[in-house]
Structure 1
C-alpha cells in the first residue's frame, strides 16, 4: 500500500500577511514523514458563474481548470480560514463552489481538515460550523478533532509568522496527523 500522502492547503484569506496563511506555513513545518503539502492560492479565481460551468459550455475558465487539477491530485485537504460575519469568507466559498460542481468534483469523498485563526476571541468556531453542511453535501470526510481555533491571533504569532503558542502548535500538529491517518484509512475503504 502506498503510504505517501499529498495534501493541498487552501487559505480562506486573501490578505498578504494573513494569520491563516501563517498557520499554513507553520503546518508545513509540522508535516509527518511521508506527507507533502502544497498551498494553492484562490486569489485569481473568477466569481463563480454557472454560465461558465455548464455542459453547453464545457470549457471552464483556465484558472479554474488549473485549480481543479491541483485539487484532483490531492489525497486530502487542509483549509485554514478566518471567520467573516460568523461564516465562511466569500473568496473561500467561491473556490469551493468552483471545485464542488459536477460529478467530476475533486472534493468528493476526500478527507479534509479545517483550522482557523482570528483576532477575535471566538477563534473561527462559527466559520467551522458553517462548513459542516458543505462537507456533508460533498460526502467529504472531515477530521473533526482536535479543533484548531486560534483566537486572539495577533498575540499567537511573532513578526515573522511563527506560531509562538505551544498549545496551538501542538493542536495543529495533532490535526495534521489526524488528517494523515484519515487519508490512510480512506484508502483502505
Structure 2
C-alpha cells in the first residue's frame, strides 16, 4: 500500500480572487493519485514576533499544517520584485520551531502569477530563502504565469491549459523529488 503524500500549499497573496490562490486551488483539484494538497489559511496569522509569550491560535494551526506536510507548494506573488510578506511570514514562524524540524529537508514546488515575467524575480528570491531554511525546491519545471494575460478568469481561477499542464508536470516532479529526498 502506497502512503499518501501530504502537501501543504501556501499562498503568499491574501486576496480572495488571487491568481496565485487560483493556481494552488487548480493544483489541489487536480493532484495526481496518491497526493493530497491542503491549502493553508494565513488570513489571521500575525507577523512573527519573538516577544509573544503564547502562539496565537492561527499560528498554532499553521504550524500543525507544516508538521503534517511531507512537502510544500509555495504560491509566490511578486511584490516590488520580491516575495510577499504573508508567505515569508509563514516560513518565518515555521523556522523558529526547535531544530527547524518543520521545514528541514522538505521538497518544495514554487509557482506564481504576477505581471510582466510572472513572479520570476520573486521566485528566485524565494529560492534564496529556501537555501537558508534547508528546504529543497524543485529546479524544474518552473511555473510562471502572467496574471494579466487572460490565463485567469475574473475570479482568479486558472483557465489556461498550457499553465495547467505545467502545474500537472510540476506536481508529478514534486512527488518524485520528495521520494528521492525522503525514501
Question: Normalising to structure 1: TM-score of the pair?
Answer: 0.89
Q: 1:3: how far off?
A: 3.4
Partner of 2:11: 11
Partner of 1:113: 109
Q: How far, CA to CA, are the matches of 2:72 and 2:87 in structure 1?
A: 13
Q: How far, CA to CA, are the matches of 1:61 and 1:158 in structure 2?
A: 35
Q: 1:51 to 1:78 in 2, by over 3 A?
A: same
What does the per-residue CA deviation read over 1:86-140, in whole Å, with 9 as the maximum and x for residues that have no partner? Answer: 001111111111111131541111111110011x121100100111121111211
Partner of 2:31: 31
1:134 aligns with 2:133: no
Alignment of 1:46-85 (within 5 A): 46-52=46-52, 57=53, 59-85=54-80
Q: How far, CA to CA, are the matches of 1:40 and 1:152 in structure 2?
A: 21
Could you tell me whether the CA contact under 8 Å between 2:8 and 2:37 is conserved in 1? yes
Question: Normalising to structure 2: TM-score of the pair?
Answer: 0.92
Q: How far, CA to CA, are the matches of 2:158 and 2:120 in structure 1?
A: 19
Residue 51 of structure 1 aligns to a residue whose secondary structure is: coil
Q: How far, CA to CA, are the matches of 1:65 and 1:161 in structure 2?
A: 28
Could you tell me whether the CA contact under 8 Å between 1:82 and 1:117 is conserved in 2? yes
Unaligned runs of 5+ in 2: none
Cα RMSD for the two superposed structures: 1.6
Could you tell me whether the CA contact under 8 Å between 2:100 and 2:133 is conserved in 1? no
What does the per-residue CA deviation read over 1:1-45, in whole Å, with 9 as the maximum and x for residues that have no partner? Answer: 743201010110011100011111111222110110110111111
Q: 1:186: how far off?
A: 2.0
Could you tell me whether the CA contact under 8 Å between 1:19 and 1:161 is conserved in 2? yes
Could you tell me whether the CA contact under 8 Å between 2:9 and 2:39 is conserved in 1? yes
Residues matched between the structures, number: 182
